[in-house]
Amino acid sequence: MLRSTPTKQASPGVRVQVAGMHKSFGAFKALDDVSLEISPGELVCLLGPSGCGKTTLLRCIAGLERQNHGAIFMGSRDVSILAPQARDYGIVFQSYALFPNLSVEQNIGYGLAGSARDIVRRRVADMLDLVGLTGSEKKFPGQLSGGQQQRVALARALAPAPSLLLLDEPMSALDAQVREHLCTELRTLQQRLGITTLMVTHNQEEAMLMADRIAVMNEGRIEQYATPQSIYENPETPFVANFVGQGNWLSFEANGNSHAQVGALQLRLADTVPNRASGRLFCRPESICVNPVQSEENLFAAQMREVTFLGNRCRMSFEFDNLPGQPLTAEISARHLPSLGTAHIKVALPPHSLQVFT
């Protein structure tokens, strides 16, 4: 749907820096000392549960909320206290906020007032071409589908050639079916234009799919700011581990240099842990090996409890014989399921899959 037009952004992406942001609503701390740096042309997702402050941060950057403390830089320009009109960004809202009484053409040209008419017309045509809606100029937003409305909103935001694009939950008003497709499309477009983009979402799949880097937020703070891969594989805080993807938790006490005692089980760890330390181990379901062919470390007998069929894979809950009452979850491929046979299984927790939180 997105045609590869020769259209390019006049102003390339800008570096955005946010430093020491605080914002309170009454007694509620929406932002608590948040700092963030976005490289030129990068797409960063603010990910977190509702109320974590991600939308507040976006609105502060947009100038729609005023932070109590903190500074915002776009390039070398300090925009901390500028009015929204003076900041040079485009924004797509969750509701799109398309003006219903203006046609698609007028909506996209809304931010171009003051330019010559033929320049506006050409720019609008370029933008429609860019989002693949050529021919819809005279339609009104109410006559478009949700996905088309989102494209118009995007075209309208990009029309004045801003140096920063802000996306506020742009996918949440869409059906799950079109969502993934539009995510990919939006990402392709963003990369081609090279525009610095900040997107707010509570949907981790969207964030994984689109972002160069994800900032996971919780209670007004950034818990971790890293690439999707390292967010998933090396969560820095228990919150991130819990919020992104699935996981198992086991309380342990360190026992020797790189061994952990979990109940009656002794597990070898990949990292060294100070002796006598205690804490929790975290393990992704898909990194657990069930009935491994080769011998593995940390291999124990277990009982299978329940299997949930998820299509291409299965989620299985099991209990170690020596750790009763603590069900864990593993994910295995669906093809692998028949080979398990009885409920008596062997389960390995490979050392490198065990992450230590003390």
Partner 1 sequence: MRTSSLSISGVNRVRNVSRAEWGDRLFVIGGKVLLLISLAIALLLPLLAIFWRGFSEDAGQGGGLAAARDLLSSDNFHWLLGNSLRVSFSVAFIVVPLAYLFAYALQRTLIPAKGLWRGISLLPLLAPSMLPAIALIYLFGNQGLLRSLLTDNIYGFWGIVIGEVIYTFPHALMILLSALSLTDARLFDAASSMGASPWRSFHSITWPATRQAVFAAFCLVFTLTITDFGVPVVVGGDYQVLAIEAYKAVVGQQQFGRGALIGMVLLVPALLSFGVDAWLRRRQSASMSGRAQIFQPEPSKWRDGCYLLVVMLICACLLAVLGMAVFSSLVKFWPYNLSLSLKHYLFNETAGGGWLAYRNSLVLATCSAVIGSILIFTGAYLMEKTRGQTGLNLALRMLTFIPMAVPGLVLGLGYVFFFNLPENPLHSLYGSMALLVICTVAHYLTTAHMTATTALRQLDSEFEAAALSLKAPLYRHYLRVTLPICLPALLDIIRYLFVSAMTTVSAAIFLYSPDSILAAVAVLNMDDAGNVGGAAAMSTLILFTSAGVSLLLAWVSRGLLRRSQAWRQTAPSH
Taking contact as CB under 8 A, which single stretch among the options 115-123, 222-230, 283-291, 347-355 is the one that binds partner 1? 115-123
Site for partner 1 in 142-181 (CB under 8 A): 142-147, 149, 156-157, 160-161, 166, 175, 178
Indicate which single residue of 73, 110, 232, 357 sits in contact with partner 1 (rule: CB under 8 A).
110
Among residues 62, 199, 244, 332, which is the contact residue for partner 1, using CB under 8 A?
62
Cβ 82 to partner 1, closest distance in Å? 9
Q: Which amino acid is at 168?
A: D
Cα–Cα distance measured from residue 271 to residue 250, given in angstroms and rounded to the nearest whole number: 16
> Per CB under 8 A, which region of 27-35, 40-48, 60-68, 181-189 contacts partner 1?
60-68
Distance of alpha carbon 236 from the chain centroid: 16
Q: What character string, x for contact with partner 1 (CB under 8 A) and - otherwise, covers 9-38?
A: xxx---------------------------
To the nearest whole angstrom, how small is the minimum distance from the Cβ of residue 103 to partner 1? 8
Nearer to partner 1, 9 or 266 (CB): 9
Least Å from the CB of residue 324 to partner 1: 44
Q: Which stretch binds partner 1 (CB under 8 A): 83-91, 220-228, 231-239, 287-295?
A: 83-91
The one among 8, 69, 181, 336 contacting partner 1 by CB under 8 A = 8
Strand ranges of the sheet holding 77-78, from the earlier edge strand across to the other edge: 28-38, 16-25, 69-74, 77-78
- Judged by beta carbon, residue 88 or residue 223, the one nearer partner 1 is 88
**CB of 45: closest distance to partner 1 in angstroms?**
20
Selected from 41, 111, 235, 247, the binder of partner 1 by CB under 8 A is: 111
The nearer residue to partner 1, 152 or 269, going by C-beta atoms, is 152
Read off the tokens for 205.
């799949």
Nearer to partner 1 by C-beta: 110 or 357?
A: 110
Verify binding: residue 249, partner 1, rule CB under 8 A: no
Q: How far is the CB of 60 from partner 1 (least distance, A)?
A: 13
| Residues 6 or more apart whose Cβ sits within 8 Å of residue 37 | 15, 16, 17, 18
CA–CA dist 104, 99 (Å, integer): 9
- Would you say 182 and 150 are in contact if contact means Cβ atoms under 8 Å apart? yes
| DSSP secondary structure letters along 133-200 | -TT-TT--GGGS-HHHHHHHHHHHHHTT--SEEEEESTTTTS-HHHHHHHHHHHHHHHHHHT-EEEEE
**Integer Rg of the chain from CA:** 25
Alpha carbon distances (Å) from 39 to 17, 22, 42, 224, 226? 9, 22, 5, 17, 13
How near is the Cβ of 140 to partner 1 at its closest, in Å?
A: 4
Which CB atom, from 54 or from 123, has the smaller least distance to partner 1?
123
**Which residues within the stretch 87-106 sit at the binding site for partner 1 (CB under 8 A)?**
89-91, 93-95, 97, 99-102
Distance CA 176, CA 294 (A): 40
The number of residues that bind partner 1 (CB under 8 A) is 50
Residue 156 or 284 having the CB closest to partner 1: 156
Give 25: exposed, middle or buried? Use CB within 10 Å, 0-12, 13-18, 19+. Answer: exposed
The strand pair at 344-348 and 299-309 is best described as antiparallel
H-assigned helices in the chain: 54-62, 104-108, 117-130, 146-158, 176-193, 204-210, 228-233, 238-243
Residues at the site binding partner 1, with contacts judged by CB under 8 A: 6-11, 62-64, 83-86, 89-91, 93-95, 97, 99-102, 110-115, 119, 122-123, 126, 140-147, 149, 156-157, 160-161, 166, 175, 178
